[in-house]
Structure formats: structure tokens, C-alpha cells
Structure 1
Amino acid sequence: MRIEKEVYGEEAMERLGGSIALVLKNGGVVYLEGDLGMGKTTLVRGVLRGLGYQGPVKSPTYTLVEPYELSGLEVNHFDLYRVADAEELEYMGIRDYFTEGSLCLIEWADMGRGVLPEADWVISLGLIRQGRHVSLEAQTEKGYAAFHALQKVITS
């Protein structure tokens, strides 16, 4: 099950993130795929704004994770770009971040293969003309439920 979108500009990417936030209020695991500069952190900023966060949002490239506590929802934004071996994640206690009600948004999830839980959604970003091609794909039952809700939000 997949949604394909074309997104043009940073504001449009943030709006898409805000729409995604509407259906992820119960948490989940989202893998964000795409090369450097494709807008993964911008999309995360939109999700956080959609959940009510107004502070700065930066890529956790050096810290590996930026946690946010929002209205009872714990949101963890991971950037695993600099991880050399997935076992490093075990040392930081990564499994503790993945609770039933948390939302975990993970950039460069392939660097944590074998340690990370299965993704409810995979969001892939790629370059097209002057914008980005965004593909959203549900992977689990929890992901499918949120996915159906997102289809209604995006098409209304």
C-alpha cells in the first residue's frame, strides 16, 4: 500500500509532515529514506509542528537522537548517518526509545539494520525536476490503519 506525491518547496514538505502528524498521534516507527539534502529533516519538522512543537528542529547527525515530549507523545528523531556498526546502537540503549506509545522517526535506518524494530511506514524522498518525489508505504497493521487515515486527509 503506497501513496506517491510530488512536493515543491520547503513549506510544502512541512505541510506534508503536518498531514502525516495528524495520523501518527498514537506513535509508530517511520523510516525516512533518501540521499543527503532530500528533505528528511524538513519533513520531520513538519511532523513536529503538526504535533504542536514550536521550537527549533535540527538534524541529530552528531547526537544520533533528539527527543521531544509533546502532549503525552514521546517523539524521537534519529539520524543514523554516522553509525559505523549497528551494534553501536545497543550501547546507547536504543531499544528503550521504542515504546508502545512513542513515535520514532529514523533517518538512515539502514545503518541500524538488525537492531531497529520493523517500520510501520517507510517514507522515501527523491529528486524530481525542482522538487521531491515522496513515496509513503505502510509496512505493518498499525501502519496500514494510519495510512488509510492519511489517504483521507491528503485527498480531502
Structure 2
Amino acid sequence: MNLVKEVDIGTKTILLIDEEINVREVVELSLKDLAHWDVVTADSPLKGLQKAALIQPDAIVLDWSIGGMDSFMFLTILRNNLETQAIPVVLLSAKARWLDSQILRQYQIVGVILKPFDPVALPGQVAKLLGWNLTLPLPKFDNSL
């Protein structure tokens, strides 16, 4: 008997913006394999802004300390573009501990996941911050024994 919990979120598309290839690969695999979301990656803020406007993802996971553009500048440009202003953003960073609720509200950041993170728990953390219901398939059990 194959037991599966209800899945009510459908396929979501996440835009992951992180310049560190190792982190990008771990986050991408975690979100794809465990949550079954489509993940589009960008290795710079500029590419991220371009992809956000083009693909209109359901959410963005952004490394706070990404190089090439100040994160505040990235968020300002994102929020000032009519095509991207409503896309929710989750920060992924070791350096975002000092962000207070006022800054999070000002830049419409739904939450912060601190590095180091647990790749197995990451999809659940992202879903919770975004207000998505994430239910994963239950493991299969062999009842033939």
C-alpha cells in the first residue's frame, strides 16, 4: 500500500540567487528533490533581476551577502518594478542576524533562514515562511513480509 499525504500546492517555481556554486547546488537539490519545486538559479543580482522579470517565480530565495550589488539595492529595484514587486523574498544568510522587523517589512522580506542550514529541513522552512502548505510523500513500506 502506497500512502501519500495530500499535496495542495502544485508545482511552485523558486528563483534562487546565490553566487556560491556549492550553496546553490545544495539549495537547488533540496528544493527540487524534497519539495518537488522547479528551481531556476542565478549567480548574480543582475541576472536574478532579469530572470525574476522573465519567469515571474512564485518566490525568490536570496543570499543576503551576494556580490555585485548591495542587497538593499537589489530589493529596491525588485520592489520598484511592476513585474516583480509582488514576488515574495526569503533571505538565506549568515550575515542577516541584525535585520530587524522594520527592515523586513520595508523591503517586504517574508523571513530569514540562517546559514548554516539543514538541507533536509530547508523546504519546510521556506514553505512555512511563504505560508505554503508543504506535504511530502510518506515513505513506502513493504507489507509483504
User: TM-score when scaled to structure 1?
Assistant: 0.39
Larger Cα-atom Rg: 2
